[in-house]
A and B are shown apart, each in its own frame.
Chain A
Amino acid sequence: MFNQGMSRRHFMSHAAMGGAAVLGANDFLSHLHLNAAEVSKNRKACILIWLGGGAPTIDMWDLKPGSKNGGEFKPISTAGDLQISEHLPGVAKQMDVLSVVRSMSTREADHMRGAYFMHSGYVPNPTVVHPTFGSVVSYELGTKRKELEIPSFVSIGGGGMSPGFLGMSHAPFTVDAGGRIQNADMAGVDPSRLGSRLDMLATIEEGFIKSDRGDAGQAHKDVYSKAVNLMRSEQMKAFKIADEKPEVRAAYGPGQFGDSMLMARRLVEVGVPFVEINTLGGWDLHNDVFNTLKNQRLPLLDQGISALTADLKQRGMMDDTVVICMGEFGRTPRINQNTGRDHWATSWSVLVGGGGLKGGRAIGETDADGTRIISESYLPSDLWATVAYALRIPLDTVHTSKRGRPMKIAGGGQPIKGLIS
């Protein structure tokens, strides 16, 4: 049950991640908008592949073969200007549209804090709960997609962190890799009865709304309408990966992760602007890092990402879909006595591309041992600013927290130049 290399404590902290210190639903949000018309037309989306536990990026995206920190893997050439791990050959072929930011320096080497920081662009703070970026995208883009009947922030495999002050209606909507949404079907009851139930419900609800006690009654009715639309929507088919051609499904690879990646493509296709995938965890490799990567993690990751990218290209969706792959931090250049690597936030890499961003590039540089950054360094706020740029969300957008505090979108980060020009 417990992933290899993850102690009980780490597992519990992952499980608690979703609910850490949530503050609350926000009723009053002030908001500055530019280019609203452009935003309403766009079909932009972002897919976040979350490597829970913090993956050893020095063995994946920024290899150091000459150094004592280099480990067992060798770099290989790709379709872009950089070299990546020999155990990601499929991704290597797709590197024309994907890039690697090699100079992430994020200081938070604790699982919960790192996850919070990487998801929201903000360091945890006792006075406010910042929204995870998926909730920001749901708020900015999802609310404008009137034809979208399913939720605008889907988390496959749970997790995804908190919507913070943006409110529970922008919380990640959880589904498992089998496409099952909890309570979305009337198990054991003839679906034709839904209509009659709703008629009776309408009679009672109208009466209450007409009794003039404020807006709560109508608000409840509206939420139920949305829920019923969800249950009856054609777009629900996006969750049914079994509908896909078997050869397409096979290309994504066996098991939950491949299925999740395929589901992500289908969700983006019907207009979901943010999908987070949490079905490939177990990257907290304090022990036996090379065998685990080589035999278990990397083959699945490789097949999933390369199939997704090829599929998006083939359907003409690549320029509208940002793909980003990262965990809460990287891992130590120094290999420990258990042939593993420990937490390391000082210098690590993130894979990012698509959505019109520049591909095939290595942005930022680390030294020969991988321990220091010798170029400009970047924070998650810069990553999310880059994603916002690609999704055409104005960077001067400001939200207001429940306590009246102005919060810049993407934590005030700047789009990474090497990815946008």
Chain B
Amino acid sequence: MNRAVMTVVLCFGLASLYSVAGYGADDQFTTGSSDPLISFVNEQIRKGWEDNEIQPSDTADDAEWVRRIHLDVVGHVPSGKVVEEFMRDKDPAKRSKLIDALLADSGYVRNFTNYWTNTLIGRVTPDKTNRGALEKFLRESFAKNRPWNEIAYDLIAAEGRFDDNGAVNYLLAQLQLNADSEEYVVEATAKTARVFLGLQVQCTQCHNHPFNDWKQNQFWEFNSFFRQMQREDHEKYNATTGQMDDDYSELVHRNFDGPVYYETRAGLMLVAYPKYFGTEIDQGSETNRRLELAKSITKDDSNKLLAKAIVNRMWGYYFANGFTRPIDDMGPHNPSSHPELLDRLTDEFVKSGYDLKQLARWICNSEAYNLTSKFNSKNQIDNPANGEVPLFSHMYVKPMQVEQLYESLLVATAADSAGAGSYEGSQGAREEWVEQFKSIFGNDDEEGALYSGTIPQALLMMNGQLVKTAISGDKGSYLASVLSDPAYKKEPDRIRALYLASLGRTPSSSELKSMQGMMSKYPDKLSAYQDLYWALLNSNEFIVNH
């Protein structure tokens, strides 16, 4: 063997030694994934730190990280047992393996079904829209890991009854006006551009955009693709039976050809033809404009806007900040913080076949995703909540979503395992709880890391039924099981168990001392543990995804 080859073999050998030990080449942290794209991601982010003369925070410890990855991927906190096992695991590739395991978990499907249902039709279901059917469509799509562009195609091109074709509910939800109104499909136009293409066009309904370079005619050209659809509501009340014989809606095709007329603010009447980024399609009535649009956006995606928008959105999902803020307002007027990285991720995402799980792996295995959320003295400027451009030198905290809070409370009290019965049964209980919350949480859109808590939310957590049940000491309850568990012999063990189950970490020694001090003042032990658990579940640390 000649010397060059020997050198290569040696290098390989050393490199693999390093990755086994949990460190890659250059002594950098690794989750254990060997995907070369992740190195590129890390390089690009590091370049941003160097250019801005900041130092990244430390790697998140296992407790911090395992809670974060659970909340982000499967939408609930890990149980105390899972935390302990993860902390004990010595496998240097454990983080990448956990990412894969969680992506394959049914929680992934449920979490992203919730996220996308809320994004597509809001938390408060609009009139005559079938939320359950849309959820079913999304659930099946995520369970099969269907390519994103195919899911998008189905949503944009959908037709039919709202119970037969769940995807149709996305557009139905936007069609709440009178079908003869000029504004009938305005909301659908604006929302489709925003959610699928990351373009904010709603201002341009009436005038050229004040900030980006969208013009009013472009809005109406886009709008003209949606003119051949109409909502049809079927309601038939049977006075004899007291039931509804018919109670459904559907999205049907209607005839429309030629141009769309619109008025400028100066009162000038202009025309717009169906044109998608320079490509004109036939304006005759035989052409199904919406199908053409769906194809252009999702199958051609020649300008890669569909891919770029979802990459930016998902980066923003995991990091609380996308490469642009807002995540759905992209363009020359709102430059990306890491343009080369965004472009490369976009290209790779397209190459992967628009694979959402692959995208999640690239993001979650990155160095930046594995950093602690604590600032250090050298990255104080990296504070997007203050309006600064994010540099991803530490994780940014996110509030829990309503559904995540519910699921987490179930996990923190082992209620999720206690025979939840049929899917519909548990879904019903979840919906009831979310109902109570959504009127007081509002319909917050996806961005921003500020906790938008209000008094009714706080009251609900402090005195509401769910937490009350969670801290009950009754026979069969979670607290009762902890207090009677032979594995927890002394008070510190029990306190430790409660911290792990809720916050996903063990108490510091000073915390332990404080708590024990306060608990000693109680006449009965059960009340002391109840109040401790009340405090843990109501704390900022519990409800913040850090």
The 6 closest A-B pairs by CB, nearest first: A19-B124, A227-B458, A200-B535, A220-B540, A126-B187, A127-B202
Distance, CA A197 to CA B396, complexed state (A): 29
CB within 8 Å of B: which of A1-37? 8-9, 12-13, 16, 18-25, 27
Known contacts A196-B521, A203-B514; A214/B442 CB under 8 A: no
A250 interface hit (Cβ, 8 Å): no
A356 interface hit (Cβ, 8 Å): no
In the complex, 25 of the A-B residue pairs with CB atoms within 8 angstroms, ordered by the A residue number, are A12-B127, A16-B124, A23-B443, A25-B442, A126-B191, A127-B202, A127-B203, A162-B442, A168-B442, A168-B444, A169-B454, A183-B464, A187-B463, A193-B527, A201-B538, A201-B539, A214-B373, A216-B449, A226-B455, A227-B455, A227-B458, A230-B455, A231-B459, A403-B203, A404-B210
Is there an interface contact between A171 and B127, defined as CB atoms closer than 8 Å?
no
Residue of B nearest to A12 (CB): B127
Is there an interface contact between B531 and A196, defined as CB atoms closer than 8 Å?
yes
Q: 1/0 per position for B516-531, CB-CB distance to A under 8 A?
A: 0010011000010001
A214 CB contact (under 8 Å) in B385, B443, B459: B385
B445 interface hit (Cβ, 8 Å): yes
A148 interface hit (Cβ, 8 Å): no
CB within 8 Å of A: which of B440-490? 440-445, 448-460, 462-464, 468
Is there an interface contact between B202 and A126, defined as CB atoms closer than 8 Å?
yes
A182 CB contact (under 8 Å) in B186, B374, B459, B540: B459
Residues of A contacting B190 in the complex (Cβ-Cβ under 8 angstroms): 126-127
Distance, CA A197 to CA B225, complexed state (A): 58
Residue of A nearest to B210 (CB): A404
Known contacts A21-B126, A22-B124, A220-B543; A204/B535 CB under 8 A: yes
B535 CB contact (under 8 Å) in A23, A167, A201: A201
Is there an interface contact between B531 and A214, defined as CB atoms closer than 8 Å?
no
B248 interface hit (Cβ, 8 Å): no
Known contacts A196-B531, A207-B511; A216/B399 CB under 8 A: yes
Distance, CA A185 to CA B463, complexed state (A): 7
B209 CB to nearest chain A CB (Å): 10
Residue of A nearest to B183 (CB): A126
- Most chain A Cβ neighbours within 10 Å, of B453, B454, B521, B540: B540
A145 CB to nearest chain B CB (Å): 15
Q: 1/0 per position for B357-381, CB-CB distance to A under 8 A?
A: 0000000000000000111000000
A215 CB to nearest chain B CB (Å): 6
Is there an interface contact between B440 and A168, defined as CB atoms closer than 8 Å?
yes
Residue of B nearest to A184 (CB): B459
Residues of B contacting A325 in the complex (Cβ-Cβ under 8 angstroms): none
Distance, CA A191 to CA B439, complexed state (A): 27
Residue of A nearest to B127 (CB): A16
Is there an interface contact between B453 and A223, defined as CB atoms closer than 8 Å?
yes
A221 interface hit (Cβ, 8 Å): yes
Residue of A nearest to B465 (CB): A183
CB within 8 Å of A: which of B219-236? 235
CB within 8 Å of B: which of A183-225? 183-188, 193, 196-197, 199-201, 203-205, 207-209, 211-221, 223-224
A183 CB contact (under 8 Å) in B203, B397, B441, B463: B463
A258 interface hit (Cβ, 8 Å): no
Distance, CA A29 to CA B213, complexed state (A): 24
A52 interface hit (Cβ, 8 Å): no
B414 interface hit (Cβ, 8 Å): no
A405 interface hit (Cβ, 8 Å): yes
Is there an interface contact between A208 and B458, defined as CB atoms closer than 8 Å?
no
B19 interface hit (Cβ, 8 Å): no
A40 CB to nearest chain B CB (Å): 22
B389 interface hit (Cβ, 8 Å): no
CB within 8 Å of A: which of B477-519? 503, 508, 511, 514-515, 518
B92 interface hit (Cβ, 8 Å): no
A234 CB to nearest chain B CB (Å): 17
A13 CB to nearest chain B CB (Å): 7
B544 interface hit (Cβ, 8 Å): yes
A39 interface hit (Cβ, 8 Å): no
Known contacts A126-B190, A223-B455; A208/B539 CB under 8 A: yes
Which B residues have a C-beta under 8 Å from some C-beta of A?
122-124, 126-127, 174, 183, 186-187, 190-191, 200, 202-203, 205, 210-211, 235, 237, 373-375, 383, 385, 396-397, 399, 438-445, 448-460, 462-464, 468, 503, 508, 511, 514-515, 518, 521-522, 527, 531-532, 534-536, 538-541, 543-544, 546
- Most chain A Cβ neighbours within 10 Å, of B124, B453, B511, B522: B453
Is there an interface contact between B439 and A19, defined as CB atoms closer than 8 Å?
yes
Is there an interface contact between B544 and A216, defined as CB atoms closer than 8 Å?
yes
Is there an interface contact between A220 and B439, defined as CB atoms closer than 8 Å?
no
Residues of A contacting B462 in the complex (Cβ-Cβ under 8 angstroms): 183, 186, 224, 227-228, 231
Residues of A contacting B187 in the complex (Cβ-Cβ under 8 angstroms): 126
Residues of A contacting B540 in the complex (Cβ-Cβ under 8 angstroms): 204-205, 208-209, 216-218, 220-221
Is there an interface contact between A24 and B539, defined as CB atoms closer than 8 Å?
no
Is there an interface contact between A186 and B463, defined as CB atoms closer than 8 Å?
yes
Residue of A nearest to B534 (CB): A197
Residues of A contacting B541 in the complex (Cβ-Cβ under 8 angstroms): 204-205, 207-208, 217
Is there an interface contact between A205 and B463, defined as CB atoms closer than 8 Å?
no
Known contacts A227-B458, A403-B200, A404-B211; A215/B450 CB under 8 A: yes
Is there an interface contact between B536 and A204, defined as CB atoms closer than 8 Å?
yes
Residues of A contacting B186 in the complex (Cβ-Cβ under 8 angstroms): 126
Distance, CA A23 to CA B439, complexed state (A): 13
A173 interface hit (Cβ, 8 Å): yes
Residue of B nearest to A220 (CB): B540
Is there an interface contact between B397 and A213, defined as CB atoms closer than 8 Å?
yes
Is there an interface contact between B203 and A405, defined as CB atoms closer than 8 Å?
yes
Is there an interface contact between B374 and A204, defined as CB atoms closer than 8 Å?
no
A196 CB contact (under 8 Å) in B439, B455, B518: B518
Residues of A contacting B442 in the complex (Cβ-Cβ under 8 angstroms): 22, 24-25, 162-163, 168, 171
A151 interface hit (Cβ, 8 Å): yes
A210 CB to nearest chain B CB (Å): 10
Residue of B nearest to A164 (CB): B442
Distance, CA A204 to CA B445, complexed state (A): 29
A138 CB to nearest chain B CB (Å): 12
Residues of B contacting A196 in the complex (Cβ-Cβ under 8 angstroms): 518, 521-522, 531
B498 CB to nearest chain A CB (Å): 11
Distance, CA A21 to CA B445, complexed state (A): 11
A181 interface hit (Cβ, 8 Å): yes
Is there an interface contact between B538 and A183, defined as CB atoms closer than 8 Å?
no
Is there an interface contact between B124 and A27, defined as CB atoms closer than 8 Å?
no
Residues of B contacting A171 in the complex (Cβ-Cβ under 8 angstroms): 440, 442, 454
Distance, CA A211 to CA B191, complexed state (A): 39
Is there an interface contact between A220 and B450, defined as CB atoms closer than 8 Å?
no
Distance, CA A203 to CA B200, complexed state (A): 44
Distance, CA A168 to CA B402, complexed state (A): 14
Distance, CA A218 to CA B124, complexed state (A): 29
Residue of B nearest to A28 (CB): B387
- Most chain B Cβ neighbours within 10 Å, of A167, A169, A207: A207
